[in-house]
Structure 1
Amino acid sequence: MQVSIKWLKDYIDFTETPEELADKLTMAGIPVENVVHTGEGLEKVVVGKLTEVRPHENSDHLQICTVDVAKGEPLTIVTGAPNVQEGQLVPVALVGAHLPNGQKIEKSKMRGVLSMGMLCSAEEMRLDLDALPESQKNGIYILPEDTTVGVSVKDVLGLDDVILEFELTANRADCFSVLGLVREISVLTGNPMHFPEIKVNEDDAADSKDLVSVSIQANDLCKRFSAGVLKNVKIGPSPKWMQQRLEGAGIRSINNVVDVTNFVMIELGQPMHAYDYDEITGHSLTARKAVKGENLHTLDDSSRVANGTELVIADAEKPAGLAGIMGGLESEITEKTTTVVLEAASFYGPNIRRTARSCGLHSEASGRFERGVDVTETPRAIKRASQLLQEMGACTVCKNIVDVYPEPVVPVKISFTAPQINRRLGTKLSGDVMCDILKKLGFGIETVSDESYTAVVPSWRNDVTRWEDLSEEVAQVYGFDEIPSTTPHGRVMSAGQSKKQYFIEKMKAVLCSLGLDETASFAFTHPSMYDKMQVPEDSMLRTAIPIMNPLTDEYPLVRTTLLSSVFENVVRNLSRKNEDVRLFEIAPVFYPKSLPVTELPDEVMKAAGIITGRRAPLGWNQVNDEVDFYDLKGIIEELLTALSIKRYTVEVGEHYVMHPGKTAVIKKGNDILAYIGEVHPAVAEAFSVKKKMYAFEMDVLTLMKHSEEHFNYTHLPKYPAVSRDLALLVDRDLPAMDIEKVIKKNAGPYFKEVCLFDVYTGKQVDSAKKSVAFSLLFQSNDKTLTDAEVDEAFGKIVSEVEKLFGAELRA
């Protein structure tokens, strides 16, 4: 939002400089971001008359001009512009001028002739070239013939103004208008407003109600809809003063009718639209929801297909405009327009915001509707626009205004007490002072009892809903610098991580130390990811929460599996020729209790990762082997060890993204600690990956549950360990883990650990058999073990594996 000081002074007198006013407004909660002096750099540029123009004797393109600036002797100025002629009035930069484009003007000799200044072009004065006719864009800028010689160009071009650029917060919708700002300035300076009386002479015999009908079909999206009719309309340029006011607000002049609607929008904060009456089919306007699939052809000559959620203003056949955002092309005001329908309405802000975002179409009007407009202003806005056009002699005004207002807004009333507000602000203000401030701001005050009041909120302050808001209004006007400063006090609490946060940080540190890289992804996914990962059709993972306003079409769902994000990151790396990838992510997934969502979903912390590519970095002293299942298994086992999780088992398992027969589950009791395995070839193909990948998935809370917190430390044993090798011939399909379980169960009190160090299948064993070899370690903390003690345990192990599995002991 920006507005000129001249426009503000049209409605209120004040002596403060623009900078002083900006400071006052900022301290009152209406922040001014910048103060721009429009004519800065034109202080020494005046109007000059060319009394003589003659060619330069020493140049074929330069001309010598004699210029009268009404101050002393005429000046001699040399120029290369081809469009100068004797008798013209032009901008003259005097010696010492510092133009807006950074150029400093000094005396200079040009081919032997002393030049005492410079004739200026529009570009050198930094004028808006898009708003100028083609004849003024190139060469010296030519001023009107009735311009007074010697006056400042700033005054002639209307650049003797100052622009305040505001950075308003979204809650102060009332200040997105000149009237709203003037109200605040009146309170801060104590000066009264002199807003012009809105009075319209309905000088046309026709009645607006007989010419146009207005209705509302979407009462939840449109609270009020008003319209008026102007006849005998003469389309033309706006008065110079109005063009300058609009330019100060950052709006370019188009024609008198469109300019007036923009002027009223900035002045009163009520967006308006003007329709060509003869282009409105059926001469009816209806605020309704768009029909899905119908065409929306807007003023920017763009066609959009409605999705059915937009609010449109429609005539009897088609949409005539996108409500609150932009009008329709077919009913726009043109030079042929003779009858105009003025429309002002109050639309539901969130719907306007969603529509503007989905269409990629934001406007001054939509910005105001998004923040909220004063629903009582619509008839007043139409009268004000009618008044301005009538004063220009551009129309006659039909009787009455068509006004549809189904549910009039009831004023908000807020009860408060003076002690209540004083406690919050740390002040000692009397109730009378508070009430006086609120009255100046437009609030009605009803006295209930001593120091207890009820405030009636004005219609334009939709941001004030409770007594705390009233306290802010009092503080801003009273002055924050008048409120005594106090040192904050309270109990100092030491910050720290929760047990869960500490555990996750430890997991990340361990995985990174094992050569994996952490990723961080959006918690969103696409339905196609479930098909690529071969998630079963009846799986709860497919019950994902849809996002109402997704960032992009690629992420319309909230993820239910972390592997979808990890796969995307792996594919992104491989597509950029990063062939050796080791990624993991620890982040939440979300399981809804039901769809549509009626309560917060379950947020479950998961860990997942994928490795692929070479085992070691490329180098002359490194082998070029690819990673395999056991690389990943080793990583997960190291992680479990670091997390103090012991006595788990590794079993054959199944997982939707992993290869059958090449997948393992790590379990402790009935809880699954991790899934690890080779990615299914069909899944890899779905992601266009031709190399083998190995993935894991874990539940963080399950890992926490089995992580030991208390430890018993023992001294290192003084006595030597005894190692024995056990080689067995067993069935080919027998898992080595089953044999390890039997060994641990029967190894006796001195057993320490078992390690599988060899598996052999080949010519020397039966095709239905395999040879497995284990290394067993025995050790006592109290003595040196004898062969007899170790042999006893070893014999029991051999006996049990022979009995249970039909194993044969190999020499």
Structure 2
Amino acid sequence: MLVPIKWMSQYVDINTDEKTLADKLTLTGSHVDSIINNEREVENVITGKILEVVKHPNADKLVVTQIDINDGEPLQIITGAKNVKKGDVVPVALEGAKLPGGVRIKKTKFRGLPSYGMMCSYEELGFEDKVIPKEFRDGILILPEDTEIGKDVKEVVGLNGKTLDIEITFNRPDCLNIVGMARETAATLNTEFKFPNIEIKNETENIKDYLNGVEIENEELCSRFYAKVIKDVKIEPSPLWMQRALMDAGMRPINNIVDVTNYVMLELGQPLHAYDLEKLNGRKLIARRAKTGEKVITIDQNERELSESMLVIADEENPACIAGVMGGFNTEISESTKFMVLESANFNPKSVRETSKKIGLRSEASARNEKPMHYKMAEFASQRACQLIEMIGAGVVVGGYMEAGKSEYIPSIVTMRPYRAAELLGVEIPVEDMLKSLNSLEIKSTFDGEQISSEIPFFRADIVEEADLIEEVGRMYGFENIVSQPLQGKIKKGRKSLRREVEDEIKNIATGIGLYELTTYSFISPKSYNNICASEDSELRKYIRILNPLGEDYSSMRTTLMANMMDVIQRNSFRGVEGAKLFEVGNVFIPLQLPITEPPMEKSKLCIGLYGKYDFYDMKGVVEAILSRFGIPISLKPIKDNQTFHPGRTAGMYLNDECIGIYGEVSPEVLDNYGLNHSVYLAEIDIEKIVECKDTNWKYEPLPKYPAMTRDIAVKVKDEVLVGDMEETIKTINPYIIESVKLFDVYRGEHIENGYKSTAFSVTYRNKERTLKDKEVESIHKKILEALETKYGATLR
């Protein structure tokens, strides 16, 4: 929130510079993000009155003006601005004047006529476009007609001062306004706080002659509705001082009535809304739930469809406002408005927040209504707005008011034990200092010898228990003054779970072999399952739909990590990254039943993605490197029915006949869905199975004493015979003597008929107790050939 120090100074004595103020507020809990300097680099710019405006004789789009600057002869200035006329008071940059951005003003000629300066717009004086009133966005700044001539424009327009940009936490809506921050400042600086003196001097007639009542149908959504009526409304620009206060606080001035409601909202934190009384059917306002299918055109001129969960302010026939979010176009005030109703109400924060999100509207008002505000403020804000309307001559306040809902307030009492404060804060604070701190925050507190009793003001809804009072004492004492102490207690030393240890080890292994780790959202788009070509009956499509998603792209809890991995690969490919090795360890969410009636099962998975200069065997090597570190012997089987993968280049990882994962080349159809023109390799492994089956009780043996003998064997088999099966068969012939079996060649081509392949293995033999003899090796080698012939129809090449 932006807090202009000039504005806040109206309610509190600030006896220090802005840097010290910002530091002290931060230390007492109101974090100041930055100090904005409102000083503009403006020199030699004064106010002047236009005496004459004539068309330039040599240019259709220029006019020649004569301006009185209270310095003798009028000053001739030529301009192309279309919003100036005789009698206007404007900022005049004289010869040699300096403007923001280092601009210097010099005498110049326009089509043969001299111009001795320049009239200035808000933009030329250094204001951002977002706060410039619409009537001045493309023209010269027109000052009030009673502005003194020849005055320095910095004083007239207020081009000075500092603004604090303060981060307000959700639990402190009382600070989301200038008065609230003034109260905090007074307590921080130990100075006097002055609440605005609210007094309406000239109320006339009776509200009952104009308004037929206000009503609340659902007090759960609207706890108080307070209404005042203003007659003889005159819509015109608000005074310059009010416009500048709003601009420094980051809001654009609109007109006097809207500016008053915004001014009070920023000042007191209570949003207000004004209705054209003559546009209300039945001259009555009702806070009720919207009807199914009911629609309203909001002031941004968009039609919004409403639902029964939303609260509206309606007349006797139609909705006139989406409560707490945005007003209706058909009942808004306009230049023809003569009678208006000023609404000040207190709404259910949850209802406002949900409504704002559903219709996609968020404003300064809804941001405040989304937070808990007390119904007592509704009356103060309404009275303050009426006072300002009367003060600036925007209308005449009608006597009386109409209200519905709660109005009486009985303060809650919260107690605090001084010794408990010392235990939690770690420092002994005298009771007198505690009382002083609490009372400075308008929390009336007394001490009875044992405990402090505090009467909680209506604007501090966040204080509900002893710990809240202790926090108030601590922050006013200054957390920086509390010496850090070591924690004490009998807490047992914690440790990571076995699964977490395994996950950490996987990450260490993966990063050690050159993979980059990803962390992605646990919720994905339902379209992602189509993108990875999951079949209609796939278990992956049994996902949990989120009731209140951030958007359609984040509306389902993921059942696989592969969709996220493909998204990352697509994004990096499109941004020119030609290749990468990636991995993610994360949870997937498996519902026990749909619709869900209990929490889903969360399973930890490892997903690996390779693209670029890598192939199937690179992926195989990565997978084996990780699993081997956990002592998990897997067997591979071809997978042909998974539509995410290429049917001839995909392997399932099996452990005790149970599939614990899959890896392979992504299918061309999936690549097309992601707009990729290069190969991608994915793997997904169940970490729960790694945890369950890992065997890291490594047994170490001395280096062999006796030499090994190696024999190669090449056989021809049918294409469908798996090399892995053949390796296992070879090993079983004599596990004691056969030390290893390695495939070193697969050949198809000349001299090998179609449908067959030649496979060549290197078999290493070793006896750990003595040197092998050739006859022994030949005997085992012969048995290998016989087993391969019998089981797979293999023939020796």
Q: TM-score, normalised by structure 2?
A: 0.81
Residue 649, structure 1, aligned to residue 650, structure 2: no
Deviation per CA, 1:694-738: give whole Å up to 9, x if none: 543212242354444233333433433223345667777554544
Who is 2:527 aligned against?
528
Cα separation, partners in 2 of 1:66 and 1:435, compared to 1, 3 Å: closer
Structure 1 distance, partners of 2:483, 2:41, is 43
Shift of 1:97: 6.8
Who is 2:259 aligned against?
259
Who is 2:651 aligned against?
664
Conservation of the 8 A alpha-carbon contact between 1:289 and 1:311: yes
Cα separation, partners in 2 of 1:644 and 1:243, compared to 1, 3 Å: closer
Who is 1:335 aligned against?
335
Residue 505, structure 1, aligned to residue 507, structure 2: yes
Structure 2 distance, partners of 1:444, 1:99, is 51
Structure 1 distance, partners of 2:338, 2:52, is 48
Who is 2:217 aligned against?
216
Matching residue's letter, 1:452: Q
Matching residue's letter, 2:431: G
Conservation of the 8 A alpha-carbon contact between 2:144 and 2:240: no
Structure 1 distance, partners of 2:204, 2:14, is 37
Structure 2 distance, partners of 1:787, 1:78, is 117
Instruction: Give secondary structure in 1 for the equivalent of 2:554.
Output: coil
Matching residue's letter, 2:508: K
Structure 2 distance, partners of 1:722, 1:551, is 65
Cα separation, partners in 2 of 1:717 and 1:698, compared to 1, 3 Å: same
Who is 1:555 aligned against?
554
Conservation of the 8 A alpha-carbon contact between 1:52 and 1:67: no
Instruction: Give secondary structure in 1 for the equivalent of 2:266.
Output: helix
Conservation of the 8 A alpha-carbon contact between 1:14 and 1:189: no
5+ residue gaps, structure 2? 54-61
Structure 2 distance, partners of 1:279, 1:66, is 45
Deviation per CA, 1:113-158: give whole Å up to 9, x if none: xx9x9665345544688438669935xx776675545544344335
Conservation of the 8 A alpha-carbon contact between 2:416 and 2:470: no
Conservation of the 8 A alpha-carbon contact between 1:228 and 1:402: no
Matches within 5 A, 1:558-577: 558-572=557-571
Moved more, 745-754 or 667-676: 667-676
Residue 173, structure 1, aligned to residue 157, structure 2: no
Shift of 1:203: 2.6
Matching residue's letter, 2:182: V
Who is 2:59 aligned against?
none
Structure 1 distance, partners of 2:86, 2:246, is 35
Shift of 1:277: 1.8
Matching residue's letter, 1:805: K
Structure 2 distance, partners of 1:672, 1:726, is 31
Which of 764, 767, 771 lines up with 1:780 in the alignment?
Answer: 767
Who is 2:396 aligned against?
395
Who is 2:540 aligned against?
541
Who is 2:465 aligned against?
466
Who is 2:57 aligned against?
none
Matching residue's letter, 1:334: S
> What is the aligned-residue identity percentage?
34
Cα separation, partners in 2 of 1:135 and 1:251, compared to 1, 3 Å: closer
Cα separation, partners in 2 of 1:539 and 1:575, compared to 1, 3 Å: same
Instruction: Give secondary structure in 2 for the equivalent of 1:330.
Output: helix
Who is 2:366 aligned against?
366
Shift of 1:399: 3.3
Moved more, 9-18 or 324-333: 9-18
Deviation per CA, 1:636-680: give whole Å up to 9, x if none: 345444x25364323345653345575432323244343234545
Deviation per CA, 1:751-781: give whole Å up to 9, x if none: 2122345667899899998776544321123
Who is 1:453 aligned against?
452
Cα separation, partners in 2 of 1:735 and 1:47, compared to 1, 3 Å: closer
Conservation of the 8 A alpha-carbon contact between 2:235 and 2:394: no
Structure 2 distance, partners of 1:429, 1:494, is 34
Matching residue's letter, 1:558: M
Shift of 1:294: 4.4
Larger Rg: 1
Conservation of the 8 A alpha-carbon contact between 2:211 and 2:284: no
Who is 2:406 aligned against?
405
Structure 2 distance, partners of 1:468, 1:101, is 51
Conservation of the 8 A alpha-carbon contact between 2:210 and 2:283: no
Cα separation, partners in 2 of 1:185 and 1:727, compared to 1, 3 Å: closer
Structure 1 distance, partners of 2:719, 2:25, is 86
Structure 2 distance, partners of 1:13, 1:569, is 55
Structure 1 distance, partners of 2:595, 2:19, is 54
Who is 2:686 aligned against?
699
Residue 203, structure 1, aligned to residue 189, structure 2: no
Conservation of the 8 A alpha-carbon contact between 1:510 and 1:639: no
Cα separation, partners in 2 of 1:443 and 1:230, compared to 1, 3 Å: same
Structure 1 distance, partners of 2:606, 2:713, is 37
Matches within 5 A, 1:300-339: 300-306=300-306, 310-339=310-339
Matching residue's letter, 2:196: F
User: What is the Cα-based RMSD across aligned positions, in Å?
Assistant: 4.8
Moved more, 319-328 or 385-394: 385-394
Q: TM-score, normalised by structure 1?
A: 0.80
Shift of 1:273: 0.2
Who is 1:620 aligned against?
none
Instruction: Give secondary structure in 2 for the equivalent of 1:233.
Output: coil
Structure 2 distance, partners of 1:243, 1:748, is 91
Cα separation, partners in 2 of 1:64 and 1:343, compared to 1, 3 Å: closer
Residue 277, structure 1, aligned to residue 314, structure 2: no
Conservation of the 8 A alpha-carbon contact between 1:297 and 1:304: yes
Shift of 1:537: 4.6
Conservation of the 8 A alpha-carbon contact between 1:289 and 1:308: yes
Moved more, 327-336 or 231-240: 231-240
Matching residue's letter, 2:703: L
Conservation of the 8 A alpha-carbon contact between 1:511 and 1:639: no
Structure 2 distance, partners of 1:215, 1:85, is 50
Structure 2 distance, partners of 1:736, 1:51, is 100
5+ residue gaps, structure 1? 54-60, 616-626
